[in-house]
Homo-oligomer: A and B are copies of this chain.
């Protein structure tokens, strides 16, 4: 059994994050030592590694919650897990496309801003006037967060 600090180091997840995961029910309530300190065994370590890995792949915590509950029923079809991964893949692809358009637009702005004066600055100008913009990014509020 490890303390939370050891678990944190071993799993690569910060101590407050582990407590947070327990608080929101992603991790079970930890056993406690005589002095009320959390103690963890290998099962929690594995679960935490799973969570960290899924977070690194961009899954939101709710999706991870679903994946964890799936992995508790190993006899069932993995169609549900597959579906969750498909949704995540589609989200990642959409984000890539969007970012590539932004990148092109930023590059265009920067290239045309060759050290002049604010009044002629393409960066400022493009931002102030949508007609200057070559990409057709949406008029509604953009999907910005991952």
A75 to chain B, nearest CB (A): 6
A133 at the interface (CB under 8 A from B): yes
Oligomer copy total = 2
Known: A102-B58, A106-B92. A121 touches B78 (CB 8 A): yes
A34 at the interface (CB under 8 A from B): no
A21 to chain B, nearest CB (A): 12
Interface of A toward B, CB cutoff 8 Å: 12-14, 17, 46, 49-50, 52-58, 67, 70-71, 73-79, 81-82, 84-86, 88-89, 92-93, 95-96, 99-100, 102-103, 105-107, 109-110, 113, 115-121, 123-124, 126-130, 133, 137-142, 144-146
